[in-house]
Structure 1
Amino acid sequence: MAMQDETENIFLIGHTNSQIDGNQLPSNLQVLQCLFHNLRVLKHNLHDSKQLVYDRLIIFWQRVKIPIQQKSRCIAKIDRLYNEWRSLQKSSSIRGITQINKEEGFSSNLQNLFDIAHHDALTMIDDKIKKFLLNQRKPCRVGFIDEIEDPISESSEPSSQIESTDTSSFSQQSLQRDPNFVLELDESPPSKKSRGTIDIFTPKLCTMLDKCKISDRNATGLLISFLEAADLDASQYIVNRTSIKQKREKFREKRAAEIQHRFKNRDLSKLVIHWDGKHLPDITGRSFVERLPIIISTEKETKILSIPKLENSTGRAMADAVFDVLQEYGISEFVVGL
């Protein structure tokens, strides 16, 4: 039986599990429980943890001889499920209606099938297995694996889907007799792959990611999915969370410097400064902070200079923040009114 870890109680997930077991195709909950066991208990990194979960997933799909998607697509699907949980966990302290509805929707989907079937699987399998797959795709997964397994073929015909040699020491007849049978796999991390070298980041791409409010983590999954859809090898490209974060920060700094440079070179005169403190959510979404929008206006236009974060909302703190911004832009001599 799979080992359940009693010390870990994960948000919306509950306890972690060392294995994926049972007599049905794996659910979203089972995938996350196994993933968090690798992350929290075995202390693997996210990349290796997803690889180990994938190794367990394919065993069940092999048992029923249902073709699955490419490994990279399966890994990306695990990543998307984890990112969805991560997004809810980050905003869990905000108990609004929207957050509660999202959590309920996520929880209701946990018992459903983690579907990695090939897109054309229904045309590649016989009617009996097709009916089983369609039933498994129903809420809470209807049906059981041992109802469609062929004992003769299972014991004599190995499947090309299994990529781990560890499975050879266990007979398929044992899997059929015991619905809760769990195949133990080597939990050592897979070998490291070489990093990609092709840089696809452009100023326009960085601008669109910011404009659409896409996080660094979600941008990683989005770009990998796009490269795979375009039949490109994602491993050849520089697409990881750290690199994306660095590229976006560098672009923002460069863009801010360009805007300041153009602004300083304009013919400025008679500027009026406006500011107004605001109590706004912090970037983490877990607390509120004081922000001070600082705006200048001229006869022709109005421009936001900065929205600095304040330690407190005293008059001195606001005055210092306004002065620092004016000095940064080099326009304090043109101010004629507040």
Structure 2
Amino acid sequence: MEESESQSGENAKGTVRPTSSTTRSATEIYLVGQPASSIRGSKLPTMRQVLKFFFHTVNESGDRQETFKETVRNVLTFWNLARIKTISERGCREKLTRLWEHWRSLQKSRDRAAKDKVENFKSQLDLLWDIGAPDAVEDIEKNRLLTPTDKQQDIAFYQDQRGERKAFMSGNDKIFATKKRKQEERVEKQRSKQGRFAACEPSSSDSRPQTSVVADTPTEVEMEKKDTAIQPGRYTSKHPYVTVQLPRRILQEPALKELADRLRISNNEIVSVVAAVLRSANPPGDLSEFRISRETARRARASHRRQVAAAQREAFTPPPHAVVHWDGKLIK
């Protein structure tokens, strides 16, 4: 008596039907496990979580470089939520590339000599994939939007994640979010004031030759929101540089001349301050592109004072009667 097809697991053509166990083993990643479509949990991601998400995404897209970027953006979401400063996004991609290359080398060399390396790799898979900046703890301590208690909690959480990993991230910090929103509103008001000041300047200033002090602004400025089990970060880290344009004749700017006179800054001091600002750009500004010297500052300030004096004389309305006082010693 022949066994039925359901009992033998074979179809009419004699091929074995794939079961759920065979499908899982076919998709399982060496040493890592099954790929994952998202990074879940309320802790900073481990190396295993990062690799699982990477392999799932690269299998779908087929573009390894884009997958590195996608994975890093998802991981950074957790670090932003924890308010912990990280290395640059480019540095994260390079670190992830090295991790993938290490895994690839272990996959290719499955011999006894590599056994110790494999065991060492497996023991680190469930540890934190640490992309924290070298001054991450310092950055938390200097954050003026956090209370002393919040700072202690953030530092303790980061140290825990690098060790036993018993702590969890809580929900959104409403107090911190309120402070952050107020800070952003103040920045926006300041920008609006600067915009109104620029609109009030004479139109002739538009024809002044301009030069750029280019700052190191990465192309990937904002992190995209991804399908994760938790909400995106409470705030996005601001890049340390911005791109601005400065006039070549910067010492002739009315705002700069007025400030120098109001603060009683000497010509040498104002030139030194401007030069230091230009050199602090990234890359440093070329001072030879600007007209900055003590004599230039002197002429610019003298011209500005004459203009202010002339304007005040024109606006002055003499009274009908006046009393004049003088020193009698000066009269012969």
> TM-score scaled by structure 2?
0.45
Higher helix share: 2
Structure with the higher fraction of residues in strand conformation: 1
Kindly name which structure, 1 or 2, has the bigger radius of gyration based on alpha carbons. 2
Q: Which has the higher contact order (CA 8 A, sep 6+)?
A: 2
TM-score, normalised to structure 1, is: 0.44
